[in-house]
């Protein structure tokens, strides 16, 4: 997969994105308070925490959807206090959503093609004409999309409207659309939520394959502890918007604060 066009290259293992002292509140509600952590190039990074811990808010901050009141975010060495989602997308950040956000009336193929929009160089009118260079470009993009379809093993549903697909497959199409952007950083918001065991195993395999095959850095939010501990290289734990632990799955698992947050403390 080609590297995104903008920004300097980051070597594997170096910090790709760092979050420094970020605080976010909605009116009087503090969603995230003074959180710092980093994501290194090529790793699978998990953000976990009990309900309402501020995980999705954190993801929305990274992705530029929310603007934190305090703190800074640097992506590939560039520091920004405010970033719009489309800038994040141009910069090489793609995401999936907790509740599937696909175009339900469109086929799986078209949904994934939509992920290529940012990579299209010909303008809208050229594409309407679908002729000459615009056609050549579409063929090229279609080829990349077909590679993703094969990668995710969804050939059989290529021409099926996503609204008619079972939930697990919709999630896979959504992952496909995010992959179509050829992101450098892929944000997955609860990729396994609501899935049965088999679907979870499939999804885990795809997440690992994406990381392994494309070298994509992945940050994911997940509730299923088994999945998180198996998949991720490093885990950051949030509770009530505060970072309570950060480290390898084993370190986090044995951290007393984490155990208390999940199981509660005797009073």
Q: Which is nearer to other proteins, 32 or 157 (CB)?
A: 157
Name which of 103, 216, 94 is nearest 170 in CA terms: 103
CB of 214 to other proteins, least distance (A): 12
- Our finding on whether 155 is near other proteins (CB under 8 A) is yes
CB 183 within 8 A of CB 4: yes
- Our finding on whether 65 is near other proteins (CB under 8 A) is no
Kindly write down the DSSP assignment for every residue of 151-214, as one continuous string. Answer: HTT-GGGTTSBGGGS-HHHHHHHHHHHHHHT--SEEEEESTTTT--HHHHHHHHHHHHHIIIII
Compute the distance between CA of residue 55 and CA of residue 69 in angstroms, rounded to an integer: 17
Q: Which residues contact 72 (CB under 8 A, 6 or more apart)?
A: 20, 21, 22, 79, 80, 81
Which CA distances in Å does 144 have to 94, 115, 151? 16, 11, 11
Kindly tell me which residue out of 38, 146, 224, 233 binds other proteins, with binding defined by CB under 8 A.
146
The Cβ of residue 48 has, within 10 Å, a number of other Cβ atoms equal to: 26
Q: Which is nearer to other proteins, 42 or 68 (CB)?
A: 42
Q: Which residue reads 């909605």 in tokens?
A: 26
Kindly tell me which residue out of 67, 158, 223, 253 binds other proteins, with binding defined by CB under 8 A.
158
Kindly tell me which residue out of 3, 101, 129, 156 binds other proteins, with binding defined by CB under 8 A.
156
- Our finding on whether 159 is near other proteins (CB under 8 A) is yes
Q: With CB under 8 A, what is the number of residues at the site for other proteins? A: 15
Q: Which is nearer to other proteins, 146 or 233 (CB)?
A: 146
- Our finding on whether 140 is near other proteins (CB under 8 A) is no
User: What's the chain's Rg over C-alpha atoms?
Assistant: 19
Give the footprint of other proteins on residues 196-215 (CB under 8 A): 209, 212-213
Binding piece for other proteins, criterion CB under 8 A, among 28-36, 153-161, 171-179, 248-256: 153-161
Q: Which residue reads 């710092």 in tokens?
A: 36
Site string for other proteins, 162-201 (x = CB under 8 A): ----------------------------------------
Tally the C-alpha atoms within 13 A of residue 182's C-alpha that lie toward its C-beta: 15
Site string for other proteins, 223-262 (x = CB under 8 A): ----------------------------------------
Compute the distance between CA of residue 68 and CA of residue 45 in angstroms, rounded to an integer: 21
CB of 79 to other proteins, least distance (A): 36
- Point out which residues bind other proteins (CB under 8 A): 142-143, 146-147, 149-151, 153, 155-156, 158-159, 209, 212-213
């Amino acid at each position: 997969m080609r590297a995104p066009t903008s920004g300097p290259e980051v070597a594997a293992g170096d910090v790709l994105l760092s979050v420094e002292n970020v605080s976010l509140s909605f009116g009087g509600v503090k969603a995230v308070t003074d959180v710092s952590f980093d994501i290194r190039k090529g790793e699978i990074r998990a953000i976990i925490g009990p309900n309402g811990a501020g995980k999705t808010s954190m993801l929305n901050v990274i992705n530029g959807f929310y603007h934190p009141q305090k703190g800074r975010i640097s992506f590939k060495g560039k520091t920004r206090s405010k970033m719009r989602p489309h800038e994040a997308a141009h910069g090489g950040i793609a995401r999936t959503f907790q509740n599937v956000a696909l175009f339900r009336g469109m086929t799986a193929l078209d949904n994934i093609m939509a992920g290529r929009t940012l990579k299209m160089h010909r303008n809208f009118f050229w594409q309407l004409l679908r002729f000459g260079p615009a056609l050549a470009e579409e063929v090229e993009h279609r080829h990349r999309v077909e590679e993703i379809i094969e990668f995710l093993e969804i050939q059989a549903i290529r021409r099926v409207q996503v609204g008619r697909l079972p939930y697990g497959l919709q999630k896979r199409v959504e992952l496909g659309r995010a992959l179509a952007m050829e992101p450098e950083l892929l944000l997955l918001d609860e990729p396994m939520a609501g899935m049965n065991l088999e679907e979870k195993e499939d999804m885990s395999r795809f997440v690992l394959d994406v990381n392994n095959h494309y070298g994509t850095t992945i940050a994911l939010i997940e509730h299923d502890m088994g999945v998180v501990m198996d998949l991720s290289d490093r885990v950051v734990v949030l509770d009530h918007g505060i970072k309570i632990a950060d480290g390898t799955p084993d370190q986090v698992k044995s951290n007393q604060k984490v155990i208390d947050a999940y199981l509660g403390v005797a009073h």
